[in-house]
Amino acid sequence: MITIWVPKRLVEVDLYNVAARSPQALAQLSENSYARRVQYAAQKVRGSGAKIVMLTGPSASGKTTSAHCLAKALVQQGTPAQVVSLDNFFKGAAYYPKMPDGTLDYENLETLDLPLIKQCLRQLSETGKTELPIYDFATEQRSAEVEPIDLQGGVCIVEGIHALNPELTGLVPDDQIYRIYAGLREEYCIDGRRVINTQDIRLCRRTLRDAAARGRSPAKTLSMWDRVLDGETRYIKGFKTTADFLLDTSFTYELGLISRLLGEVRRQFTLEGHNAELWDETARRFEQVDPLPLELLPADSMLREFYGSRT
Residue 225: alpha-carbon gap to chain centroid: 15
Give mean pLDDT, residues 30-50.
Answer: 97
Residue 77 is predicted with a pLDDT of 98
Q: For the chain, what are the domain ranges?
A: 9-90+155-310
Mean pLDDT across the chain: 91
Q: What is the DSSP letter of 20?
A: T
Report pLDDT digits (tens) over 126-150. 999 999 999 988 788 888 899 999 9
How far CA 109 is from CA of 96, 113, 162, 276, in Å, comes to: 9, 9, 7, 32
Q: Which of 27-31, 165-169, 246-250 has the lowest mean pLDDT?
A: 165-169
Q: What is the DSSP letter of 290?
A: P
Report pLDDT digits (tens) over 153-194. 999 999 999 999 999 998 888 889 999 999 999 999 999 999
CATH code reported for the domain at 9-90+155-310 = 3.40.50
DSSP for 71-130, written as a single string: HHHHHHTT--EEEEEGGGGB--GGG--B-TTS-B-TTSGGGB-HHHHHHHHHHHHHHSEE
Give dist(CA 59, CA 40) in Å, integer.
Answer: 23
3-state secondary structure 177-237: EEEEEEECCEEEEECCEEEECHHHHHHHHHHHHHHHHCCCCHHHHHHHHHHHHHHHHHHCH
Reported pTM = 0.93
Give mean pLDDT, residues 277-302.
Answer: 92
Report pLDDT digits (tens) over 41-98. 999 999 999 999 999 999 999 999 999 999 999 999 999 999 999 999 999 878 878 8
Please name the amino acid found at residue 295.
Answer: E
pLDDT at 311 exceeding the cut of 90? no
Report pLDDT digits (tens) over 194-220. 999 999 999 999 999 887 766 677 888
Give mean pLDDT, residues 239-264.
Answer: 94
Instruction: Name the nearest CA neighbour of 29 among 245, 311, 298, 260.
Output: 298
Dihedral (Cα; 110, 165, 44, 75), 10-degree rounding: 0
Number of H helices, E strands in the chain: 10, 10
Residue 215 is predicted with a pLDDT of 63
